[in-house]
Chain A
Amino acid sequence: METIRHHLPDDLLMGYAAGSLAEAFNVLIATHLSLCDECRARAGSFDAVGGAILDTSPPRAMAPGALQATLARIDEDPEVSRATHQPERDGTLPAPLTSYVGGGLDSVPWRSIGGGVRDALLPTSNEARVRLLRIPAGMAVPDHGHRGMELTLVLQGAFRDETDRFARGDVEVADEELEHTPVAEEGEDCICLAATDAPLRFKGMIPRIAQSFLRI
C-alpha cells in the first residue's frame, strides 16, 4: 500500500458516516477509504458515534403487529442475501469506482476537454458532481479558484500545485480561499477523481466558455 500523506478531514468523515453528504462526495470518500486504512479506521469510529447515538436515544413505539409484519417480510425471500456479487477488479480504480464506471479503467468513457485533458462524469445525484480526470504527464490544469468545495483524489501518477505534491491515495481539499494550477508530474498521465459542489472559477476567457458547454 502507498504512503498516503494527505487524508480526509474529520468533518467529511463524519458527514460520510452520518449520511449527510452528496452522493458525489460519498463516491470520492469511499474510494479514498478503499486505499487508506487510517481513514477507514477513523470512519469506523464515526460509525460508532452513530451507533451510540442510535442506542441511547428515546425510542418511538412501533405499530401493533410490526414484529409479525417483519417476520412475514423475512419469510418472503429467505436466501436472497447470499447472492453477493463481486465487483470487477482493477489495478487503478478501487471497487466503488468500477461500480460507478461499470468496469475498469478501459471502460471509462473519456471525452476531451481541451489541452490534452480528458474527463468522464460519473452518474450521481446532481447536487454535486464527481468526475475522473486524465491529465497528460507534464501538463497543467488551467489556473482556477473554487466557488464551493473541491476534493481531488489521485489514482495514478502525481500532481503538484502551489500547496504540495499529491500522489496515489492523496486527497486535496480546496475551498473558496485556494486558487491553484495543478500540474501533472512527468513520467505518466495523472488520473484523478474530483468532486465539486459548485462550478470552478477559471481565470482565462477560453476555459470559461468551455465550462458552460462542458458543465465543469
Chain B
Amino acid sequence: MPDTIDADWTEHLSRIRHDRDQEAFAEVFGHFAPRVKAFLMRSGATEAQAEDCAQDVMATLWNKAHLYDPGRASPATWIFTIARNRRIDTLRKQRRPEPEDLPWGPEAEPDQEDVVALQQDSDRLAAALADLPEKQRQLIERAYFADLTHSEIAAETGLPLGTIKSRIRLALERLRHKMG
C-alpha cells in the first residue's frame, strides 16, 4: 500500500476496532509512527525517548481503538492528541486534564455523512495550512511542535510578543477564512 496522506485511515481504524486487523495496524503504523517520532523529537525528546514513546502511542491506538469516534476527529487529529498527551505525561511528568465526557459518548456508530464531512474539512485544513505564508506557518508549527508558549517563542526568536501574537492571529484568520 502506498504511503499517501490520501489513504483512508478512518477505514483502517475501523478494521482495527472491529476486526483487530493486524494488517491494517501495520499500515497505520507505517504512516503515523515515523510522524509521531518526528513530532516528539521536534518537541525536545531524544531519539531513544521518541522511538519508545512513538511505539507506546501506536500501542495505545490499538488498545483504545474502540474509543475512536470518526465523527468527531480525523485519524491524524486523534493520533496527535494521543501523542501530545504522552509527551506531557512522559517528558513533562504531568497529568493532562481532559474535559468531562459528553453525555452521548463514543459508543454509538457515527453518522456516515459526518465522517465524510469531517474528512473533507481535515483535507481543506491541511491544504490551508500548506498555503499560509511561510513565516505564519512556521510560527504555528513551533507552537505545536516545540512545546513553546507564545512568550517563549518570542524569547527564542527575538521577535516582540505582540508580533508573534498578531502573526498567529493573522494565520488563524486565514485558516478560518479558507474553512468558512
Contacts and interface: CB of A to CB of B under 8 A. Distances in A.
Interface residues of A, number: 57
A60 interface: yes
Contact of B99 (A21, A33, A61, A69): A33
Contacts, number: 181
B80 A50 contact: yes
Among B25, B59, B122, max chain A CB count under 10 A is at B59
B39 A49 contact: no
Nearest to A130: B97
B100 A54 contact: no
Contacts of B32: 54
Interface in A30-75: 30-31, 33-34, 40, 43-44, 47-63, 66-67, 69-71, 73-74
B94 A74 contact: no
Interface string A55-97: 1111111110011011101100110111000010000001110
Interface of B: 5, 22, 25-26, 29-30, 32-39, 41-42, 50-51, 54-56, 58-60, 62-64, 66-67, 72-74, 76-81, 83-85, 87-88, 92-101, 121-122, 125-126, 129-130, 140-141, 143-145, 147-150, 152, 165, 168-169, 172, 175
Given A67-B29, A125-B93, 15 more contacts: A15-B143, A15-B149, A19-B96, A20-B147, A40-B99, A44-B73, A48-B73, A51-B73, A54-B39, A59-B34, A62-B51, A66-B51, A81-B63, A81-B66, A96-B99
